[in-house]
Chain A
């Protein structure tokens, strides 16, 4: 167990180093150089040279690379010229909103996926199983800006049940939690829909596979009811590989958040990435790309750890 953990940690650390290095060279390789792209196409050579000096770009490559690392390790992600604030502070003020939205969306997607996948696996090849399969393809293919817009049109504009965007209404105080939920609901559904499609399809396949196993036949021969077989026997075996896939979906959730948060004007990191990209705020975009990479690595690591824990529980309990 400890050996596996150490191995996974080492792999993750290596991935992290590669990620940071790649992002460094990405910036370095921007056409015309970083200063040129910050200042725009029409910048005078003098201004570019000045910014080069300010950003330390006149130093040799290895020195810049080292400086890049030192800055990162000190939490210095650069300075946003458009927002006039250090990038790290900027990210800090949006992070919790994204974490909240992603957690709600992930919770929704996982719950729905397990229910749908069980149904789909148990009714594979029959009517309901096919309907669920079609639903998955449709919801997986629909772009989130479209789904988000339709949801806003229906539930906010027409029915007026939910707010069209933002994170809280003008009123604060007592109804704060309820108000927050009302704001979270539509973006969370938009974000959860394609994730549910992918997760439930994968899980449905697992369930279908488990249903063909001898132990299911044996459970039937013992007179166990279908619901009991599904929940107490099949679910337990089918859910384990799902953990890995959920871990791998963490960055997808974050990336999906870019469009969803923009559509709903939800002040999270995705929205920040969208804004920064439009305003050519390179330091912020770079930092967010690094964060997505970091999330990918962490998601993988987490899935590995949870899986080996589950395994150990069965093996050494």
Chain B
């Protein structure tokens, strides 16, 4: 795993579960991924597919009742699992930043954004108040909020949604972490602001050589922004590879169905495609492919064994992959 010194994040065999130990409900099953410096990996999946939970696991902030039963998480070669809470605290915010879906609720309403950015810097770098304040100003300017980089304080409610998300990104970058995790960073924003935030992330990725884990349910957005895609379904990887392979020529029927479900632009009066059925509820792992009950190409052997991830460079977990159309 450590062969490449540019590997920022390497998750291997991550398995998350809740419920009783003898009969656990598997929420994320054997997730492996790597992100290089200067690369953006999009984790794509429906609600409940385990994307945000995986991000929480990277930060060591799993919700109560959810536990990691297997797997390793390495940040710049350092193993994060099994570390004390204290050790993890020193890493969170300093070596990895997290951006949330709703920038209004993720900002403390009664502290100025400047103070909240400066706080991260002071906590991790033990800098002086003035140094932290100067750092906050520089970061705000870097994320395109030059107007807020003066000496005046600005509170979250004085900012627009897009400005708030920019401030959140500045906060996540306060200590120049090599890794940024953006959990649905544009879902709460309107389309124009969405594009601006994605452009900002792409610029930071390029200029800072930042590794970005971009979590989204929107395949089109992921394909437009990221370098590589990882498609999750019911907690397991369905397909993974470069955008050019996975999005342009999906091999897995699920990815293909997701792509078909993207509403066409410009809008037509045709009925939109939807994947029939619902994702399975978390429970004991099914025998066979998880997607089989909803799959349009299902064959009898799909229900007998779990298809392993195969293929190169793009990998997919399907016995009967779609051929290039």
Contact = CB atoms under 8 A, between A and B. Distances in A.
Given A214-B100, A233-B108, A224 B119 contact: yes
A219 B108 contact: yes
A223 B123 contact: yes
Contact of B119 (A217, A232, A240): A232
Interface string B115-134: 00001100110000000000
A222 B93 contact: yes
Contacts of A219: 108
Contact of B171 (A217, A222, A225, A315): A222
A221 B61 contact: yes
Given A213-B105, A217-B61, A223-B92, A233 B111 contact: yes
B102 A214 contact: yes
Interface in B65-117: 88-94, 97-98, 100, 102, 105-112
Interface string A202-241: 0000000000011101111111110010001100110010
Contacts of B320: none
A218 B112 CA distance: 15
Contact of B92 (A222, A236, A314): A222
B161 to A, nearest CB: 14
B301 interface: no
B59 interface: yes
B92 A221 contact: yes
Q: Which among B61, B123, B153 has the highest number of chain A CB atoms within 10 Å?
A: B123
B215 to A, nearest CB: 13
Given A217-B100, A220-B61, 16 more contacts: A214-B102, A215-B105, A218-B106, A218-B168, A222-B93, A222-B97, A222-B98, A223-B91, A224-B120, A225-B123, A236-B108, A237-B109, A237-B110, A315-B155, A315-B157, A317-B112
Interface of B: 59, 61, 88-94, 97-98, 100, 102, 105-112, 119-120, 123-124, 153, 155, 157, 168, 171-172, 174
Interface of A: 213-215, 217-225, 228, 232-233, 236-237, 240, 314-315, 317
9 contacts: A214-B102, A215-B108, A218-B100, A221-B93, A222-B119, A223-B88, A223-B94, A236-B110, A315-B155
